[in-house]
Amino acid sequence: MRVVTFPDELGLSSELSEKVLQWTRYWAKNFINREDLPNGRPMWKNGSDVEAWVAQGNDIELSLISELPDYQLHSRWSSYAKNPRFVDSD
């Protein structure tokens, strides 16, 4: 069973598909999902441009709504991304 769906498989434009992939890659590279004991919070790497990443995500959301009018978008990434503003000191 495959658990990953790529943007182009949803019928998105190639431009939006590439934006989604780049946006996701940035998150995977810069968001450290590890324990920050004793608080246990995930962290952004030092130097990550979280504000720009959130702005790009907002633009992607609007484009998804436009390109997929028959679907409802239930987005929770924004509150999750903005919450852990902890910078890695490594």
Q: By C-alpha distance, which of 85, 69, 64 is closest to 7?
A: 64
* CA gap 12, 82 in Å, rounded: 26
Q: Where are the domains of the chain?
A: 15-82
- pTM for the whole thing? 0.76
**pLDDT per residue as tens, the chain (90 positions):** 666 677 878 889 999 999 999 999 998 898 876 655 556 667 788 888 988 998 999 999 999 999 999 988 888 777 767 664 454 444
Give SS3 for 2.
Answer: coil
* CA gap 15, 79 in Å, rounded: 25
Which backbone phi and psi does 38 adopt, to 5 degrees? -90, 0
